Structure 1
Amino acid sequence: MTDQLPQVLVLDDDDDTAALLSMALRRRGFRALVARTCEEGRSQLAESAVDALVTDVSLPDGSGVALVASLAHRPRAVIVVSGFGGDDDREKSLKAGAHAHMVKPIDVARLVATLNELLGRSG
């Protein structure tokens, strides 16, 4: 039954944030993978059937926004998270191909609701 749960890749280099988000998503009916760098994220996306990507902007080896823009095949739901939420920050995320831009600290209930909406799941 867990194979039918949507799989989310959490891409964040902060251990606490990655652990918190992945644990919260698992508790709310998702499977969660974690990657810490753009390179790890790209590998996970290539190797696993990922339904959604939640990525930080600032990663040790590049930008989560640039990673999203470079993907030939994006997951069904892409959410960029950042410490910045100005109109230009949101616009950059959306132009890169993200479906949503959220500002840290992340409201987990809002994240889950957005993922459910983007994936066509009842919450």
Structure 2
Amino acid sequence: MQVPLYQAKAEFFRMLGHPVRIRVLELLGEGPRQVRDLLADIEIEPSSLSQQLAVLRRAGIVTSHRDGSAVVYTLAGPDVADLMRAARRILTEMLSGRSELAEALRAAEHPATG
């Protein structure tokens, strides 16, 4: 029995639902990174990063290859970077809307006199 598309999408977003994975994808959106560079940028234990990278690799979102003794990770395709940018735009719009609502509420509490 085939999994419905909406269920596959939900599984995809659940897989993305970890802050370290999101940060890794944001960093890889800027270009390939060695594991040591990811560790320096994210500042977590190597075993934790390794676990999160394995989840992303199994999902096919990132790929890795050896460059000498270093392991380099890359996004599997540009769509993931596009998704991270789209999420940033959506969040920015949502937060902007909340800010505008908060300003309107404050203005209603203290109407200008004149």
TM range (shorter): under 0.3
Give the TM-score of the pair, scaled to structure 1.
0.25
Greater RCO, CA 8 A, separation 6+: 2
Give the TM-score of the pair, scaled to structure 2.
0.26
